[in-house]
Amino acid sequence: MAKVKTKFQCTECGYEAPKWYGKCPGCQSWNSMIEETETVVKTQGRNSPLFDSKDKPLPIIDIDSGQEPRVQTGIGELNRVLGGGIVPGSLVLVGGDPGIGKSTLMLQTSHALTHSGLRVLYVSGEESVKQTKLRADRLGALSPELYVLCETNMERVEEAVDQIQPHFLVIDSIQTVYLPEVTSAPGSVAQVRECTSRFMRIAKGRGIATVLVGHVTKEGAIAGPRMLEHMVDCVLYFEGERHHTYRLLRAVKNRFGSTNEIGIFEMGEDGLREVGNPSELFLSERPLGVAGSTVVASMEGTRPLLVELQALISTTHFPSPRRMATGIDHHRLNLIIAVLEKRMGMFLQTQDAYLNVAGGVRLDEPAVDLAVAVSIASSLRDVPTKPDDVIFGEIGLTGEVRAVSRAEQRVKEAAKLGFKRVILPEKSLKGWKHPRGIQLIGVNTVADALAVALD
């Protein structure tokens, strides 16, 4: 017997409640609760036609653990993030800010896959067929095996899939697709959840690799219920500053590969171009002999990345000094300033501190701490660092410099780009072979690092 059930759910965090709240108890968002009605069907256990289970429990040692077959997308940076290529039957979610290049990336990927003999269906719910064709003309993404459909009705999308029988399916975007039998508006929690469930059955049941493009909230998270990210196999975020040409593709969930890899692209007139040597590109405009500028060796997955850190310390005109950071966590900046004041005796209480990672890159690992401290001290003392130095290391609250992972890869990248000296934690010097032609200086405290870098 069917029973109609009414509930309220938050569009931001997915919190469910039996009654409406003006402010969501889960995420504290105002006016984010919407009403949903659903039909609950009571099943009859094993005799119900809804119960269909043909799989039997197997000993784990008898299960084949062979590698999943992968298809090369034709875009090396995307293959890197996906773990070596896209897996047939996988469901991938791609999110990012408006205008960052999600549709451009998907159209270029679709065109590249057609060169491998695959048939691609690109479903656009936000642009007309002519608009998509204009974008394809600009990108040069024209192929007889690339089919374009402008549709938002889920049932008609399924009909197109039955007709075309594609190997690769793109839905741009999932928030525009709706099911007629669900009474909620397109983009609501119920619609996004049900449509994603349908696409998951299409991907798994027919072996069609499916990519869902998703909108993001003001905070940068993918809009809709959190369940959306749990249902898919892979979640990718397309990041970048609107005023910079560089774009970063980062995996936050991947059932078929690592979540530590990133792909780096450059936005041009003809679309997205892969960046083969990002370190050289990020350092191409670095000024030499300027106080407050240092080069740090960071790791993004298995890829070492050399970027420039810039710090500016100036006398404040406010009752409390300003602390601003672009590219790193500003809480980490406050921590490093506190260590410099307490352990190094630097008087920064009357100084504004501004920190910037050149190129629009965001660095999240603690290995950049030592370079931040050297940049701040260099700007405060107005003493430039040496242009051939690379610095990395984690700073503790007592002023010690802690070891970091993958020191060998960082040093090799610095040597490849022509740097002469690396300042790194003393404990990171052990257990690997040092390359020739570059000087390694191990330090144990922040004081040791400043004495070497600013001598």
Q: What is the DSSP string of 108-152?
A: HHHHHHHTTT--EEEEESSS-HHHHHHHHHHHT---TTEEEEE--
Cα separation, 406 vs 411, whole angstroms: 9
Cα separation, 296 vs 419, whole angstroms: 12
Q: What is the DSSP string of 69-104?
A: P-B--S-HHHHHHHTSSBPTT-EEEEEE-TTSSHHH
- Pull the structure tokens for residue 8: 């309220």
103 is in an annotated binding site: yes
Q: What is the DSSP string of 325-356?
A: EESS-HHHHHHHHHHHHHHH----TTEEEEEE
433 is in an annotated binding site: no
Neighbours of 58 (CB within 10 A): 8
99 is in an annotated binding site: yes
Cα separation, 86 vs 371, whole angstroms: 37
271 is in an annotated binding site: no
Distance of CA 144 to the CA centre of its chain: 32
CB 94 within 8 A of CB 102: yes
Cα separation, 390 vs 375, whole angstroms: 12
97 is in an annotated binding site: yes
Which residues does 184 contact at the CB level (< 8 Å), separation at least 6? 34, 36, 190, 191
84, β-bridge pairs: none
Cα separation, 168 vs 177, whole angstroms: 18
100 is in an annotated binding site: yes
Cα separation, 395 vs 37, whole angstroms: 53
Q: How far is CA 87 from CA 58, 103, 227, in A?
A: 24, 20, 22
Q: In terms of residues, how long is the chain?
A: 455
CB 125 within 8 A of CB 173: yes
Stated as kind and residue range, the H or E segment containing 286 is: none
Known binding residues for ATP: 96-103
Known binding residues: 96-103
